[in-house]
Amino acid sequence: MTTIRRFECDDFFKFNNVNLDYLTETYYLPFYFQYLSKWPSLLSTATDVNGRTMGYILGKAEGVDENWHGHVTALTVAPEYRRIGLADRLMHFLEEVSEKVHNGYFVDLFVRKSNILAIDMYKKFGYSIYRTVIEYYSGEEDALDMRKALPRDVEKKSIIPLKHPVYPSDADL
Amino acid sequence: MSGNKYSSIFQALDNSNHKGALKLCNALLKKKSDDSLGKLLKAICLQRLNEVEEAIKLADEVSLVPQTQEVVLNNLNYFYKSVKQTEKIVKAFEVSYNAQPKNEELAEGLFLAYTKVRNLKQQQQMAIQINKMFPSREHSVWYLMTILAMVKQDPENKLFIQLSQKMAEKLAGEKKFQSTEDLYLYEEILDVQSKYDEHLKIIQGDLGKLYTVPTEQLKIQANLQDKLGLHKESMESYKEIITRFELDEWSCYMGYFDQVWKVAEKESQGKVDKEALVGLVKSIQDQIKTSNQRILRGPYIAELEIEYRFIMQLDSNDDKKPIDNGRYLLLKELIYGYFKTFGNKPIYYYDMKKYLNLINSRVPLESKKEFLKGLWEMVSGQGERDRISHISNYYKVESLLSLHSELTEVQVRDLLSKFVTEYQLAFDQQKSTQQLSERVPGDDLLIIGYQLLMDLFDKSQETRYLVDAVVLLEYGFEASPKNFQFNLMAISLYYQLGDHRKALDHFRVLNIKNIQWDTIGYLILDDCIRSLPSMIEAYKFFEKSSKFYAENDSTADYIAECYKNHNYSKIFELQKFQDKISNSYQQLSSVTEKALFTFFLSKHKSSSSNNTSTTTTKDQQQSINIQQQLNLLQVPEHCYTVNDDQFKKLSFNMDLNVQDRFESDLKRLKYHYQVSTSSLSLQSNNDNHVSCGKVDQEFLKSKLVLRRLVLRLLVDSYRIKGAGTTVEQVDKYMDNIKLLSETIEKVKNVSSTPGLEITSDRDFDNIVYQQTVQVFTIFVEIYNQMKLNKNHLSVIQDLLKQYSQSNDALLKYIRDNMYISGSGVINARVFRMIANHFEQVTWFTELMGYVYSWLPSKKQKKKDETIVALRVDFDQCITKQIESLQSLDSEISKKSISTVTDYTNALKLTHFSTSTENEEVESLITKHRNNTIQSITQSTSIYLDEVLLYIKSLKSQLTPYLQ
């Protein structure tokens, strides 16, 4: 039983069963608030019937001209709610808002090169590898920049893979 | 002035080179003494160097000069925020704007400054002004938002409501609403007035087109239709969502069913066409099947929900009445069916909880057993991949159906043996494919095992069950190191077992940060500050949590950001959040506890900084900080004020549901952490103040008041000790003692018997409370006697005697309970007793020091008889205190180092499981048990050494009073 709705400030008080998972970061307040005050429609949370948080997604809209797009900043699902297609639904939600509210050309996200599980999952959702960003994670691990074109990008130009990896400084982040 | 100079100052500040930055500022100001940015940066440097007063003076100078540069105003904002004087930034904007009323940026800045301090009146004035001077669509919407805020603050004010309505209509007419965020204002204004029909019209009209995601609009529409009694229409809206757009959206299934029942009530005397309903749900199931997408849960649970609603409809008034057999069988089949599809996923339990709860309360035991038998038949066989997940879910269901509550120890051990065997088997089998980031299937079985052991402990209070429970958790933690549930549960268990080091280890794994200090800080703080060897650690935790509370100071900036970004829907939400944090019980409580704790620590500074081999330079620095705060007069007033208004607004933000529980909701949450950080009571396993995910707010509030009064009395004692004490001060002090007694009555364990015969932990707590009152009363009565010449000698003599007697009683109780049934093994419960007792003795010691300074020395020639008598009693009381500390010292020094064997014998630890079939598992468990016991004995030994140091410190403070 899943209900998806916009992320609300009250959710901060009860997202621990999600955030205690070691791969999920608990940011400091200004970070969250920057998102909430700028892109409230791109933050969604999923709850079960008891109101328990199952997972959430934080995103933003950014870029100029044909680079205008939705970006997934964080996507996380509590361990006990995994493998039921929740990430798929949350991503779908963000894609829909990126398309219909923000009128973007594509949606993109960054993922650790070693996180095969996640990369495969995003591929299943229709994302493809656009480029590698060298040492993006604390100067240690490479990131894969994965993208999915939205209807506005009719020719799907945004997802043509780059031939060479880029450094974070050149990545136009 | 060149920008370069500034950037090097900023850089120095960024690098925390405050002294360097200050030097650069001074150099800059030498050339240009009235440079605003330079002055301001200097203020920031000074503030960071702790010269706050001078810093504020400097910033105030800047704020009184009209500014145009954004960078100056931004830094003023930053500065005043950090010294918590945000109202001054408003003044700065006022000064600047008044000097340049045609500057739009400044006008906007001033408007936003008002939004931050929530000065609605000024905000409204400014909105009018801006709209006059710089008319724009955005500014009109700002004005509307301002009016809406005024309406929300004062919903009875017709004038504001009319104004907002008129304004919204005007903007709508002029097509000034351009996004759903703008439209939100109009919708809110209509909702506040319950004008749902109008709201519906708008949503369905042209303005509704602003909603570009169809379901967003449909959900609002359905909700409004429901409110307007248009149930058929609402039903259709929900139906459209679940059949066309979101086939799995549970809130809309529920919305749809609600409407179906409402329509039936209106049109067909409550008769619902079940076939049609089930037909619709099945058609959605088919729709998903044919579209080849992943199977969705919603339409399957919907079938159960329909059955559930029919059952509830039949006998909604009787929640005990057995379910009609025919309906029960249908429900059962559906739950079985759901198990076939989703029984291999943890979600099964959460999805079925509601329906299982119904069975739990309304199905007889025999049927429950039969139900479980049927469920067990669906569990995959030995060697199959899903088996372990199925078993996990099976036992979760068994637990939820209350079949675990009456188990005997033998039965529990049989189950444990089964759990561990299955777990290990599955673990070995799936080791090669197990992802490190994922939980091990079957982890929940171990958690159920933990629950079973804790139930046994609850009934018997036998420590061996705690040991077994912690062993089970350690075993799970080794196999599944990323399952934080094991850590959560281990923390409080280890504290109960006296192993502070292990408790901290598990806490560190959680890596809690930022807001988590507010919501789950309770997991550790209380236990940690009551644990003598973890005190430096506790101090760090306090620092971390106070850093989070300072973060909340910027929340107001983001409220202004919402205005800037025209995202109005988040403004009220952020304000509510800001209030919830600033009125957080955890925050209010931790500032008080930190102050009390710092006082305690500073009194024993020498003991705690010399002892541990782990003392690092950083720890030493920490002790220096603590030393600086020794002066009670420096304790900020907000740490001990008891402000009724504020206490009414207290917000209890603890997340009590973070720990998994696979039990019936009816069962009270017995084994839990000490929720408050204002304890002054023993960790009690029958603490009824937390249950079913809720805290007893009144109780916690009283405890906080109690702790604040103690702190206040400590501070006031220090003041009274100094010169120039007025009679009013003393009267106030006595009033506060009275208040303290009254508050204690509210938190006291009433079941306790009065007198000095301590027979339980509850009695112990109550005597500690009583002594707390005595300490302050003794102090003030001696003051009355010595300084105000009141003849209170007999009162004082009685009090001193009572204090000594209760002291003896407490120490006796500690000594009697020190070891587990005559063995050499320490009973960890006494650690908390000792901590509570020592805290109170520390206050006593401090206050007697003040008293001692008033008493004339023994050698004084002219002797007043009263004084002599007082002196004798005082000496006696101190002597007895020292003696009792000495006796505790000898009792502890007698201790023999316990070994694993001692421990095993003392606790009568038996085999983990009754079956000896699985030797491999048994030996794994034995390994964990030996490790655990070894760790407990080592930690206990460290703990006792620490206790001895505290005794030494107390004695060395008391002894000089006898000379």
Which tens digit of pLDDT belongs to each residue from B356-395?
999 999 999 999 999 999 999 999 999 899 999 999 999 9
Burial of B926 (0-12, 13-18, 19+ CB in 10 A): middle
| Nearest-by-Cβ selection for A84 from B180, B347, B577 | B347
Note the pLDDT of residue B682. 44
Segment among B120-124, B828-832, B913-917 with least mean pLDDT: B913-917
Please give the structure tokens belonging to residue B647.
């206490």
Q: Which positions in chain A touch B357 (Cβ < 8 Å)?
A: none
Residue B5 pLDDT more than 50? Answer: yes
Token pair 């996990």: residue? B392
Give just the sign of the alpha carbon dihedral B160, B166, B170, B175.
positive
* pLDDT tens, position by position, B214-262: 999 999 999 999 999 999 999 999 999 999 999 999 999 999 999 999 9
The CA distance from B451 to B517, in Å, is 26
Query: Could you tell me the pLDDT band of residue B612, with boundaries at 50, 70 and 90?
Result: very low
What crossing angle do the helices spanning A29-38 and B555-565 adopt, rounded to 10°? 20
Would you tell me how many other CB atoms lie within 10 Å of the CB of residue B259? 23
Nearest CA in chain B to A39: B567
Q: b or e along B551-561 (b: 16 or more beta carbons within 10 Å of the residue's beta carbon)?
A: bbbbbbbbbbb
Q: What is the C-alpha radius of gyration for chain A, rounded to an integer number of angstroms?
A: 16
- Whether the pLDDT of residue B71 is over 80: the answer is yes
Write down the pLDDT at residue B25. Answer: 94
Write down the residue that tokens 């600033």 correspond to.
B582
A80–B212: do the CB atoms touch at under 8 Å? no
- Determine which of B181, B345, B347 to mutate to test the interface with A (most A C-beta atoms within 10 Å): B347
- Pick the residue from chain A with its C-alpha nearest to B571: A37
Q: Which helix (H) or strand (E) holds A3?
A: strand A3-6
More confident residue, B528 or B335: B335
CA distance B812 to chain A (A): 43
Q: What distance in Å separates residue B255's CA from the closest CA in chain A?
A: 12
**B521 to chain A: closest CA residue:** A16
Name the residue facing B551 among A14, A30, A97 (closest C-beta).
Answer: A30
Q: How far is B438 from chain A (nearest CA, A)?
A: 7
B250/A3 touch (CB, cutoff 8 Å), yes or no: yes
Whether B937 maps to a domain, the answer reads yes
**Beta carbons of B186 and B168 less than 8 angstroms apart:** yes
Check if the beta carbon of residue B237 is closer than 8 Å to that of residue B221.
yes
Name residues whose C-beta falls within 8 Å of residue B246's C-beta, 6 or more positions apart in sequence.
A4, B215, B252
Q: B514: distance to nearest CA of chain A, Å?
A: 6
Torsion sign, CA atoms B889, B894, B897, B902: negative
Written as six digits, the tokens of B419 are: 């759990």
Q: Is residue B658 included in any domain, yes or no?
A: no
Instruction: Give contacts of A4 with chain B, Cβ < 8 Å.
Output: 246, 249
B627 pLDDT more than 70: no
Contact B297 A10 (CB under 8 A): no
The contacts of residue B178 (CB under 8 Å, 6+ apart) are B137, B210
Q: Which of A15, A23, A32, A33 is the best mutation test for B, with the most CBs of B within 10 A?
A: A33
CA-CA-CA-CA torsion sign (B424, B425, B428, B434): negative
Which class for B69: exposed (0-12), middle (13-18), buried (19 or more C-beta within 10 A)?
A: exposed
User: What are the chain A neighbours of B238 within 8 Å (beta carbons)?
Assistant: none
- Position B38 in a domain: yes
Supply the pLDDT for residue B751. 61
How many C-beta neighbours within 10 Å does residue B424 have? 18
CA–CA gap between residue B569 and residue B327 (Å, rounded):
45
Separation in Å, CA of A163 to nearest CA in chain B: 31
**pLDDT (0 to 100) of residue B921:** 81
**Residue B654 near residue B669 (C-beta atoms within 8 A):** no
Phi-psi region of B680 (alpha: psi -120 to 50; beta: other; left: phi over 0): left
| B106-115, B213-222, B474-483, B749-758: range with lowest mean pLDDT | B749-758
Q: Do A100 and B516 touch (CB under 8 A)?
A: no
Q: What is the DSSP letter of B819?
A: B
Q: Tokens in use for B439?
A: 């939980």
Partner-chain contact B250 A10, CB within 8 Å: no
The pairs formed by A131-136 with CB atoms below 8 angstroms and a separation of 24 or more are A131/A161, A131/A162, A131/A165, A131/A166, A131/A171, A132/A165, A132/A166, A133/A165, A133/A166, A133/A167, A133/A168, A133/A171, A133/A173, A134/A165, A134/A166, A134/A167, A134/A168, A135/A167, A135/A168, A136/A110, A136/A168, A136/A171
User: What tens digit of pLDDT does each residue of B190-211 get?
Assistant: 999 999 999 999 999 999 999 9
Helix H or strand E encompassing A57:
strand A53-62
Q: Domain for residue B944, yes or no?
A: yes
Q: Hey, what are B378's tokens?
A: 């669906």
Q: Which of A13, A34, A48 sits opposite B519 (nearest CB)?
A: A13
For residue A77, the model assigns a pLDDT of: 96
Best residue in A18, A37, A83, A121 to probe B by mutation, most B CBs within 10 Å? Answer: A37
Amino acid at B223: N
Under an 8 A CB cutoff, do A27 and B514 touch?
yes
Chain B residues inside the 8 Å CB shell of A23: 437
Asked whether the beta carbons of residue A82 and residue B438 sit closer than 8 angstroms, the reply is yes
The neighbour count for residue B860, using CB atoms within 10 Å, is 12
CB pairs under 8 A between A and B: 150
- Confidence (pLDDT) at B847: 96
DSSP states along B841-896: HHHHHHHHHHHHHHSPPTT-SS--HHHHHHHHHHHHHHHHHHHHHHHHHHHHHTPP
Contact between A50 and B353 using a beta-carbon 8 Å cutoff:
yes
Chain A environment of B296 (Cβ under 8 Å): 85
pLDDT tens, residue by residue, B692-739:
556 778 888 998 999 999 999 999 999 999 888 899 999 999 999 999
d(CA B687, CA B519): 20
Q: What Å distances lie between residue B123 and B112, B127, B144, B173, B556, CA to CA?
A: 8, 6, 11, 25, 14
Domains of chain A, start order: 3-170 (3.40.630.30)
Chain B neighbors of A52, CB-CB under 8 A? 350, 657
Q: Give A-chain residues touching B557 at CB under 8 angstroms.
A: 30
The 3 state secondary structure assigned to B199-243 is: HHHHHHCHHHHHCCCHHHHHHHHHHHHHHCCCHHHHHHHHHHHHH
The tokens describing B691, both together, are 């249950």
How close B777 gets to chain A, by Cα (Å)?
42
Q: Measured between CA atoms, how close is A170 to chain B, in angstroms?
A: 24
* Partner-chain contact B551 A28, CB within 8 Å: yes
CA gap A21, A24 in Å, rounded: 6
Q: Which helix (H) or strand (E) holds A35?
A: helix A29-38
Q: What is the pLDDT of residue B3?
A: 67
Q: What is the pLDDT of residues A44-56, one digit of tens each?
A: 999 998 889 999 9
Residue B905 has what pLDDT?
Answer: 84
- Dist. CA B177–CA B211, nearest whole Å: 12
pLDDT tens digits for range B660-698: 889 876 665 544 444 443 344 444 434 445 555 567 788
| Interchain proximity A26–B577, CB inside 8 Å | no
Among B354, B438, B653, select the one facing A79 at the smallest CB separation. Answer: B438
pLDDT for res B860: 67
Side chain identity at residue B88, one-letter code? K
Residue carrying structure tokens 């006296």: B498
| Higher-confidence position of B824 and B18 | B18
Q: What are phi and psi of B687, to 5 degrees?
A: -70, 115
**pLDDT tops 70 at residue B418:** yes
Count the neighbouring beta carbons within 10 Å of the beta carbon of residue B660: 21
Cβ proximity of B779 and B851 under 8 Å:
yes
Question: Does A13 contact B653 at a Cβ distance shorter than 8 Å?
Answer: yes
pLDDT band at B862 (very low <50, low <70, confident <90, very high): low
Contacts of A82 in chain B (CB under 8 A): 438
Strands, sheet with A141-149, edge to edge from the N-terminal-most edge strand: A3-6, A43-47, A53-62, A69-77, A106-112, A141-149, A128-137
Name chain A contacts of B568, Cβ cutoff 8 Å: none
* Contact between A20 and B484 using a beta-carbon 8 Å cutoff: yes
Backbone angles phi, psi at B384, to 5 degrees: -85, 150
Interface mutation vs chain B, best among A2, A42, A86, A91, most B CBs within 10 Å:
A2
A30 contact residues in B (CB cutoff 8 A): 551, 554, 557-558
Contacts of B655 in chain A (CB under 8 A): 13-14, 16
**Local confidence band at B792 (pLDDT 50, 70, 90 cut-offs):** confident
> What is the helix (H) or strand (E) element at residue A107, kind and residue range?
strand A106-112
Confirm whether B286 is domain-assigned. no
Query: Could you tell me the end-to-end alpha-carbon distance of chain B, in angstroms, rounded to an integer?
Result: 67
Query: B468: distance to nearest CA of chain A, Å?
Result: 25
CB–CB of B569 and A16 under 8 A? no
Q: Distance, in angstroms, between B717 CA and closest chain A CA?
A: 39
pLDDT, tens digit (0-9, with 9 covering 90-100), for B392-408: 999 999 999 999 988 99
Secondary structure percentages of chain A, helix, strand, coil, to 5: 35, 30, 35
Domains: count for chain B: 3
B662: CB partners within 8 A, 6+ apart:
B349, B395, B396, B399, B400, B444, B447, B448, B451
Instruction: Give the domain extent around B8.
Output: 3-135
Q: Is B510 exposed, middle or buried (0-12, 13-18, 19+ CB in 10 A)?
A: buried
pLDDT single digits (tens) A11-33 = 999 999 999 999 899 999 999 99
Inter-chain CB proximity A14 and B347 less than 8 Å: no
Contacts of A21 in chain B (CB under 8 A): 482, 484
Angle among Cα B223, B694, B698 to the nearest 5 degrees reads 110
Q: Which of B250, B567, B574 sits opposite A1 (nearest CB)?
A: B250
**Domain-embedded: residue B664:** no
Nearest residue, CB atoms, B515 vs list A26, A83, A96: A26
Domain stop point among B135, B152, B181? B135
Chain-wide mean pLDDT for chain B? 89
Cross-chain residue pair B558–A33, CB shorter than 8 Å: yes
Residue of B600 and B185 predicted with greater confidence: B185
Asked if B574 lies within 8 A of A52 by C-beta distance, the reply is no
- Mean pLDDT calculated for residue range B512-535: 90
For residue B506, being part of any structural domain is answered with no
Better-predicted residue by pLDDT, B615 or B769: B769
Domain with residue B53: its CATH number is 1.25.40.10
Q: How far apart are CA B762 and CA B171, in angstroms?
A: 66
Which residue is it, tokens 């940690």?
B528
Q: Which residues contact B551 (CB under 8 A, 6 or more apart)?
A: A28, A29, A30, B514
Name the 3-class secondary structure at B645: helix
CB contact under 8 A, A3 and B213: no
For chain B, percent of residues with pLDDT exceeding 70: 91
Residue B632: what pLDDT?
85
Please identify, among B403, B430, B464, the residue that sits at the C-terminal boundary of a domain: B403
- Other CB atoms within 10 A of residue B613 CB: 5
